[in-house]
Amino acid sequence: MGAIENSLPVGGNWRTAALIVGSFVLAWVVARASGRLAELLTRWWERRHGDTGPSPDDTAALRGLKRRDTAVSLVRTTVRYVAFLLALAFSFVQVSGFSKVAALAGASLIVVLIGFAGQRFLTDIIAGLLMFFEGWFSVGDTITVEPWSLSGVVEEMSLRSTTLRAVTGEKIRVNNSAIYAARILPKGVREVEVELMATDGDECRRVVEEVARIVPAGPTRFVRRPEVVEVEVLDDELVRVLVHASVAHGREWLVEKFLPDIMKERAPEGLIAHGPIVMFVDERATRRFARSLPGTRGRRPRTGARSE
């Protein structure tokens, strides 16, 4: 009889340990299932709206796609947090038992742990909630996080942290409370104007077209190849040529250094009288600044004009 009584606590301990392990295994399964469910929802949405997805010029469709990806990311990570927090709470209940003294001691321990170890975690959660409701950025946006100058595409958002994918491939995780400011590129690329003065407009156009064929193109290089958008005749021997291009964020050196050098190299001697001068531009910023100037209110800025 004494041997049986001594074996009961051991059996109870094994049962408690099994329940605790089972709760964390269940939390892990739920976390994995939430990721799988998010993938299924994404594929269903893509099938419903077409496999090719929206075009880069379809701003409304791209905005809806980013909102969907952001919501899926937040739901997936939130379910993960909730599952493991419930498993942790269940473990405390199993360890402390159901007695009032033990429950009070367990609750006091949880409060102390949250107060000391969880202070930064709660700060991140609050910051994440505020950024989400204020719509700072979405999954798929190209941003720069200040004051750390960390740049990349937002790959995942959770209530605790934000994950960026840099143009060089690194994955960067930033605590939400450490994001003091965020600079967002509306189109995800840097739009560029290259201005130069030339002695022959047709020959300058030929040089730009030749350069456009050999520059590296792609999502992380020249997103849009150089293209002549305006040729303005100043006098018989001088024309102003305006070239547009766009490059990935983080590859600005391609237009600041590489493009001007290769244009000078390919141009015949005496063709380029002055320049090239590189300027980063944005149409929306141009319109906003035009509205703020008294002399330009009500006017639409000139873009893409052609004159010869």
Q: Specify the CATH number for the domain of residue 20.
A: 1.10.287
Report DSSP letters for 83-135, one per residue: HHHHHHHHHHHHHH-S-HHHHHHHHHHHHHHHHHTSHHHHHHHHHHHHHHHHT
Contact 128, 110 (CB under 8 A): no
pTM of model > 0.75: no
Task: Tell me the three state secondary structure of residue 175.
Answer: strand
Mean pLDDT in each 10-residue stretch from start to end of the chain (308 residues)? 45 71 78 71 62 48 61 72 74 63 60 66 85 85 88 86 87 91 84 93 92 90 92 90 90 91 91 90 79 62 43
Q: What is the pLDDT of residue 41?
A: 66
Does some domain include residue 306? no
169 & 65 share domain: no
Q: Which domain holds residue 181?
A: 132-185
Laid out side by side, the sheet with 222-235 consists of 222-235, 238-248, 189-198, 272-281
Q: What is the pLDDT of residue 240?
A: 94
Give how many domains the chain has, as a whole number.
3
Task: Tell me the three state secondary structure of residue 191.
Answer: strand
Domain-ending residue, one of 66, 91, 117: 117
Q: Bridge partners of 232?
A: 240
Residue 252 corresponds to which tokens in the numbers above?
């600005």
Any idea which residue has 């967002």 for tokens? 184
Does some domain include residue 104? yes
Laid out side by side, the sheet with 181-185 consists of 171-175, 161-165, 150-157, 142-146, 181-185
Q: What gap in Å lies between CA 28 and CA 86, rounded to an integer?
A: 12
105 & 201 share domain: no
8 & 112 share domain: yes
Element (H, E) at 4: helix 2-49
Q: Specify the CATH number for the domain of residue 162.
A: 2.30.30.60
Does some domain include residue 125? no
Does some domain include residue 127? no
Q: What is the pLDDT of residue 4?
A: 43
Q: What is the pLDDT of residue 45?
A: 61
